[in-house]
Structure 1
């Protein structure tokens, strides 16, 4: 009989129903890890487990965590037998409209982050490293005060006084949550170290557990809307973000950041390349000619990519983590393909 391959470790993955988390989960399982995901309900947890490849389903389970902003929300989740070796924290709200900026965004992001770190320090002393999903929002300045080039050395210039302005609440939540994490490492000196992944707009294939296209991650909405013909009367403006990264590259970065020794203590700004909605439309029309009637006439589609756009340096993830960025063409093609395969979400089969 072949020898049983030893697992490289046990991982707690928070925010298990999220787009990025679903791909991180696949990547962890593909690399032999044992994974426990957090979900807000039993139904959602079961859906996550049922959505993974049946061949590795025995290596994943779930634990219920309700309101992540509550004190001690993760106390029981971080306790496991056998104990955890690593934690990947992706759970954080993404929305742009708030009834209450603190309740709906700032508290879950900031208190959820410091709360899980405190729980790990107290109840999970075997954890060696924590990887947190941050965002390019914690890196990029508020327009028009852009720098010529951005990398993980930069921090967004949003202030706490601006945090309750809905125009700035999300980026403030990402900046101050990540700042709080690094401050925790400095002041509390836990047994584990930290790495953060600061990804920009993230495209890529649909997660298998997705139950509605309305629940698709915001970055992918533009691709979804083109495929559904919602931009037939005109391609929507691209602004404010013209940079993208493929979700599979982001997932791999999370997994590599767990185990590459040099990753500890580092931020990783992840950008694959520039894009525009017009460029995405061009790719879809080329790769999927059967969708031509979903678009406006070609002569009416103009790129809105600004000539004076700032630049980026995202080479650190390639250098330290060995990530090779997926092209826009492949990312868009694979994303559309994953949509067309989901007849249950598309309202029937799209003729090819």
Structure 2
């Protein structure tokens, strides 16, 4: 009998690929979704798969949000991906901080209380929980799993949405490690910490509903940049398929227990992406910007990433920037 995985937020950008890889590997999967429409969509992707079932969790920040899902018998592993990623913040606590922190603690608390058989909980964290934005470009520095964002609560509830988002991921991850130390549950914890994630999607989107990270590529091909290449918010990236596979490998590799993994494919620049776009899709000439907003920083002038742990312990083989850009752009041109 195949192991059973509870996957939270199964219709999300990353979680959709996690679900695909789990089913390909013949795991039994119970996934939470916010409403029946999302469940019906996922059913349409895997109509003949009897190993997939659903639990509706309309509000991941609600008290005991995941209790009923976790009480289901036979769950061996939990992969928790459900957390907001956007910068449209009117109330920092309600829009980002609470959903991230309460959602994570809800999963861990319920797992200890109702599912003593669960072996491991894998949590989608972020480079946001690693980077120290106050240090700026940090030329030559390589961020790794050893780094922890030192953001404070006072900074988190300020008027900078990017700081609030980074804080939400940091506090959520910190709460998981604190829970592990204080509560000493039967299960282990693993976090997956990607930087900017893009790549092909499993759910069709519109220009209005495209996820935040892929929207940055869409902006480079739809003519909205008016010939000026914008600066990238963060110079590190990874393909969504690598991130999703890391979650699955984390439950298969004993070395991953109680570990963080900085899943990064390396540095990028929007100028390099634009070069790829014009070579791969010559029909986009006139839409893809060609003029730099500001002089481009070289790799010696800004921080990088050390992904050696994810390669050594998880066995990840990273998709190239050129391939990822091609796969996503081809899809966007077909859909939008």
Q: TM-score, normalised by structure 1?
A: 0.89
* Residue of structure 2 equivalent to 1:183: 178
Secondary structure of residue in 2 paired with 1:293: coil
Structure 1 unmatched ranges of 5 or more: 1-5, 347-352
Deviations 1:12-64 (A, max 9, x none): 11112211111111111111111111111111221122234x45x32222110
* Residue of structure 1 equivalent to 2:247: 254
* Residue of structure 1 equivalent to 2:304: 311
**Distance across 2 between alignment mates of 1:198 and 1:319:** 16
Runs of 4+ residues over 4 Å off in structure 1 = 298-303
Conserved? CA contact 1:10–1:86, under 8 Å: yes
Conserved? CA contact 1:46–1:62, under 8 Å: no
Conserved? CA contact 1:277–1:303, under 8 Å: no
* Residue of structure 2 equivalent to 1:48: 42
Note if 1:192 corresponds to 2:187.
yes
**Distance across 1 between alignment mates of 2:291 and 2:76:** 55
Deviations 1:263-284 (A, max 9, x none): 0010001110211111111111
**Distance across 1 between alignment mates of 2:281 and 2:108:** 46
Secondary structure of residue in 1 paired with 2:82: coil
Deviations 1:99-152 (A, max 9, x none): 211111111100110111111111122211110000000000023356522100
Partner of residue 70 from structure 1, selected from 57, 62, 76 = 62
Alignment of 1:183-222 (within 5 A): 183-207=178-202, 209-222=203-216
Moved more, 304-313 or 218-227: 304-313
**Distance across 2 between alignment mates of 1:321 and 1:305:** 31
* Residue of structure 2 equivalent to 1:349: none
Partner of residue 135 from structure 1, selected from 115, 126, 134 = 126
Secondary structure of residue in 2 paired with 1:58: coil
User: How far has the Cα of 1:302 moved from its partner?
Assistant: 7.5
Note if 1:32 corresponds to 2:21.
no
**Distance across 1 between alignment mates of 2:183 and 2:69:** 21
* Residue of structure 1 equivalent to 2:166: 171
**Distance across 1 between alignment mates of 2:235 and 2:13:** 20
Secondary structure of residue in 2 paired with 1:62: strand
Secondary structure of residue in 2 paired with 1:77: helix
Deviations 1:131-180 (A, max 9, x none): 00000000000233565221001101211221101322111111111000
**Distance across 1 between alignment mates of 2:308 and 2:56:** 37
Count of equivalent residues: 331
Partner of residue 289 from structure 1, selected from 272, 282, 293 = 282
Conserved? CA contact 1:42–1:64, under 8 Å: yes
Secondary structure of residue in 2 paired with 1:215: coil
Conserved? CA contact 2:190–2:259, under 8 Å: yes
* Residue of structure 2 equivalent to 1:3: none
Note if 1:87 corresponds to 2:87.
no
Structure 2 unmatched ranges of 5 or more: none
User: How far has the Cα of 1:299 moved from its partner?
Assistant: 6.4
Conserved? CA contact 2:230–2:292, under 8 Å: no
